[in-house]
Chain A
Amino acid sequence: MFSFVVSRVLQAIPVMLVVAFISFAMFAYVGDPVSIMLGQDFTEAQRTALVHNLGLDRSFLVQFLTFVGNALQGEFGLSYRLGRPVAELIAERAPATLELAFCAAFIAIAIGVPMGVYTGLYRNSWLSRFFLTFSLIGVSLPTFLIGILLILVFAVNLGWLPSFGRGDVVSLGWWSTGFATATGWKALVLPAVTLGLFQLTLIMRLVRAEMLEVLRTDYIKFARARGLSNRAINFGHALKNTLVPVITVAGLQLGAIIAFAIVTETVFQWPGMGLLFIQSVGSADIPVMAAYLMLISAIFVTINLVVDLLYYAVDPRLRVGRRGH
């Protein structure tokens, strides 16, 4: 077990190095920071001094290693646009995105899994047909359209929920949470539903397909022949056997939710990392973009590791060598 974790962490290192390299390459190829920072009016001496201060006159390898070394210490330089440390900017924005992402993932799993089980068990009921039709909408409508439609109905027409922002937040040390206030919760509903809807329908369809597969197996038939209750068969024996693929997809989707909250955050003006990123793209703020890229990669790598560990928890066949034959 321990050696497995160590080997996975070691495998993550080259992945992160490649990502770091791509992030670093942006500095060299996307715009020229020197001309951006100097503005219109400068002398050659000023330019040389700035190039020297930024370390741009050193060799490529040294620059890259310096970048990686700084990144390891959470040091990504100053934002060109805001003139503040990038790490600080991201730390400020991360709670908003993470809270939104986890709410969306929670909605997707807490509703998607039961719906998948239901549609798998009662294939021909009208409710299953309704869920399937509904899921088709969720899979095929683009996120921004869903967001705008939700705003139209619940914010503009009905006036029940706010259409933008995060509501009132409470600071807990460096973490600012919207969970502590009523306005925070209300502001969370529409963006979380928007972001979670696609994942919900995806998980529902996946669980349904897996359930249909598992319910045909001999061990389910044998469980019925043993006279176990429907509940034990459907939610114990059957659902547990669908979990490995569901965990895989749910894990990847959680990463995707965090990384691609950009669209939802833009629609709802949600003050998270995605919004920060899109604003940075607009003004070629490379340090922020590079740091965002590396952070998202780190999140994906971590989630994949957790998913692999969950396989072990769910499926005893993977725990090879723990017991002798």
Chain B
Amino acid sequence: MAAPLLEVRNLRVEFPTRRGILTALDDVSFSIEPGEILGVVGESGAGKSMTGAAIIGLLEPPGRIARGEILLNGRRIDALPYAELRRIRGREIGAIFQDPLTTLNPLYSVGQQLVETMTTHLPITPDEARRRAIGWLEQVGIPAAAQRIDAYPHEFSGGMRQRVVIALALCAEPKLIVADEPTTALDVSIQAQVIALLKTLARDKGTAMMLITHDMGVIAETADRVAVMYAGRIAEIGPVRQVVLHARHPYSQGLMGSIPPLDRRVERLAQIDGSMPRLTAIPPGCAYNPRCPKVFGRCLGDRPDLMDAGPTQAACWLYDNV
């Protein structure tokens, strides 16, 4: 097995607040192979976006990495000085954010933003960068790219803007893209197009991707592997087919079970009872124990780490000594 492109080891992110330290991510470990698409799913507040932000070094202060390490091609990037981290951002790890209406600077044309990103990272002239910028706009499916390059963000629709954001994330040819809910803010009809575009581009360029979403359909279609997050920890991680069809962790089972079936009518949509605990009130033992239908004594006291559960790994005592 080749060396992983990205490796996250025992990552812990804390927020010091007036009422004590909140642990937003606890002991998160996973890796991404070159060219692989890892889906990250979970409810709001599970720590999906936080993990992405930690990888690109954009945790909102006062959030900080308290423990663990992040390695890119075997090199630690979680404690780099700003100047070096900056050279990694965009150049080695690209980012796509949720809302394309707010991620583009309204006062710069899309061409200016593309050229600026490329000339920052690549040894090319502005003329060459402009030529490539038109190429990128064509690749992400902007019609009449040569004319549209001087247009400003407000002159594009939401879906088109997200295509521009994708071009911006890819234009300095990073090896990894962190896409944080890239389609959540888009119309349903546009979502599939944008996901298909992302998938095609990632495959063509051999770019690995960490795709954060709460849309299981997107994950099932796009990802190679999937990590299910719950209350700041990874509950289960494994090949997408296994996790979607044969989830091992009770939380993943509940999550998959709540996808409404399309082939028959149901009286009531399936759901997991209760809600995810707040960061201030995570129960001892397994964080999922108050909602878990299979809870037993050990879950209340000991916190499970990821353990082998057949083809996937699950943080659940059901699979201890299997």
Number of chain B residues whose Cβ lies closer than 8 Å to a Cβ of chain A: 33
Which positions 86-104 of chain B face chain A at CB distance < 8 Å? 86-91, 94-95, 97, 99, 102-104
Contacts of A224 in B (CB 8 A): 58, 86, 89
Are B154 and A317 neighbours in the complex by a CB distance under 8 Å? Answer: yes
- Choose among B107, B152, B165, B172 the residue that contacts A222 (Cβ–Cβ < 8 A): B165
- Choose among B90, B97, B103, B155 the residue that contacts A227 (Cβ–Cβ < 8 A): B90
Are A225 and B106 neighbours in the complex by a CB distance under 8 Å? Answer: no
Are A228 and B120 neighbours in the complex by a CB distance under 8 Å? Answer: yes
Flag whether B221 is at the interface (Cβ < 8 A).
Answer: no
Are A227 and B152 neighbours in the complex by a CB distance under 8 Å? Answer: no
A219 CA to B165 CA, complexed, in Å: 11
Are A218 and B89 neighbours in the complex by a CB distance under 8 Å? Answer: no
Flag whether A125 is at the interface (Cβ < 8 A).
Answer: no
Cβ distance B105 to chain A, nearest Cβ, rounded Å: 4
Which positions 53-68 of chain B face chain A at CB distance < 8 Å? 56, 58
Flag whether B108 is at the interface (Cβ < 8 A).
Answer: yes
Which positions 65-97 of chain B face chain A at CB distance < 8 Å? 82, 86-91, 94-95, 97
Q: Which of A1-9, A229-237, A250-258 is the interface stretch?
A: A229-237
Flag whether A316 is at the interface (Cβ < 8 A).
Answer: yes
Identify the closest chain B residue to A241 (Cβ): B107
Are A237 and B105 neighbours in the complex by a CB distance under 8 Å? Answer: yes
- Choose among A217, A222, A314, A316 the residue that contacts B95 (Cβ–Cβ < 8 A): A222
Q: Taking A230-B82, A232-B116, A316-B106 as contacts, is the C-beta distance between A222 and B97 under 8 angstroms? A: yes
Contacts of A227 in B (CB 8 A): 86-91, 117, 120-121, 172
Flag whether B243 is at the interface (Cβ < 8 A).
Answer: no
Flag whether A295 is at the interface (Cβ < 8 A).
Answer: no
Contacts of A240 in B (CB 8 A): 107
Q: Taking A228-B116, A230-B82 as contacts, is the C-beta distance between A218 and B155 under 8 angstroms? A: no
Flag whether A315 is at the interface (Cβ < 8 A).
Answer: yes
Contacts of B89 in A (CB 8 A): 224-227
Are A225 and B120 neighbours in the complex by a CB distance under 8 Å? Answer: no
Contacts of B116 in A (CB 8 A): 228, 232
Q: Taking A221-B97, A225-B95, A227-B172 as contacts, is the C-beta distance between A316 and B120 under 8 angstroms? A: no
Contacts of B154 in A (CB 8 A): 316-317
Flag whether B242 is at the interface (Cβ < 8 A).
Answer: no
Q: A-side binding surface: helix, strand, loop or mixed?
A: helix
Q: Taking A226-B90, A227-B172 as contacts, is the C-beta distance between A232 and B58 under 8 angstroms? A: no
A187 CA to B95 CA, complexed, in Å: 56
Which positions 146-165 of chain B face chain A at CB distance < 8 Å? 151-152, 154-155, 165
Q: Taking A316-B109, A316-B152, A323-B155 as contacts, is the C-beta distance between A226 and B104 under 8 angstroms? A: no
Contacts of A317 in B (CB 8 A): 106, 152, 154
Looking at B82, B87, B105, B168, which has the most chain A CB atoms within 10 Å of its CB?
B105
Contacts of A229 in B (CB 8 A): 86, 120
A219 CA to B95 CA, complexed, in Å: 12
Cβ distance A2 to chain B, nearest Cβ, rounded Å: 22
A316 CA to B88 CA, complexed, in Å: 31
Identify the closest chain A residue to B90 (Cβ): A227
A229 CA to B88 CA, complexed, in Å: 12
Are A323 and B151 neighbours in the complex by a CB distance under 8 Å? Answer: yes
Contacts of A323 in B (CB 8 A): 151, 155
Contacts of A225 in B (CB 8 A): 56, 58, 89-90, 94-95, 97
Q: Taking A226-B120, A314-B107, A316-B107 as contacts, is the C-beta distance between A218 and B99 under 8 angstroms? A: yes
A232 CA to B90 CA, complexed, in Å: 14
Contacts of B86 in A (CB 8 A): 224, 227-230
A226 CA to B118 CA, complexed, in Å: 9
Looking at A219, A226, A232, A241, which has the most chain B CB atoms within 10 Å of its CB?
A226
- Choose among B58, B104, B109, B120 the residue that contacts A219 (Cβ–Cβ < 8 A): B104
Identify the closest chain B residue to A238 (Cβ): B105
A58 CA to B152 CA, complexed, in Å: 60
Contacts of B97 in A (CB 8 A): 218, 221-222, 225
A187 CA to B87 CA, complexed, in Å: 51
Are B91 and A223 neighbours in the complex by a CB distance under 8 Å? Answer: no
A77 CA to B91 CA, complexed, in Å: 71
Q: Taking A219-B103, A237-B105, A241-B105 as contacts, is the C-beta distance between A226 and B168 under 8 angstroms? A: yes
Contacts of B168 in A (CB 8 A): 222, 226
Cβ distance B297 to chain A, nearest Cβ, rounded Å: 45
Contacts of B58 in A (CB 8 A): 221, 224-225
Contacts of A314 in B (CB 8 A): 107
Contacts of B169 in A (CB 8 A): 226
Cβ distance A223 to chain B, nearest Cβ, rounded Å: 7
Contacts of A223 in B (CB 8 A): 105
A182 CA to B107 CA, complexed, in Å: 43
A76 CA to B47 CA, complexed, in Å: 73
Cβ distance B250 to chain A, nearest Cβ, rounded Å: 35
Cβ distance A313 to chain B, nearest Cβ, rounded Å: 11
Chain A contact residues, CB within 8 Å of chain B: 217-219, 221-230, 232, 237, 240-241, 314-317, 323, 325
4 interchain residue pairs of minimum CB distance: A227-B90, A227-B89, A225-B95, A218-B102
Not counting A225-B95, A226-B95, a sample of 5 additional A-B residue pairs whose C-beta atoms are within 8 angstroms of each other reads: A224-B89, A225-B94, A227-B120, A315-B107, A316-B154
Task: Give 30 A-B contacts (CB < 8 Å), ordered by A residue.
Answer: A218-B99, A218-B102, A219-B102, A219-B103, A219-B105, A221-B58, A221-B97, A222-B97, A225-B56, A225-B58, A226-B90, A226-B117, A226-B120, A226-B168, A226-B169, A227-B91, A227-B117, A228-B90, A228-B116, A228-B117, A229-B120, A232-B116, A237-B105, A237-B108, A241-B105, A316-B109, A317-B152, A323-B151, A323-B155, A325-B155
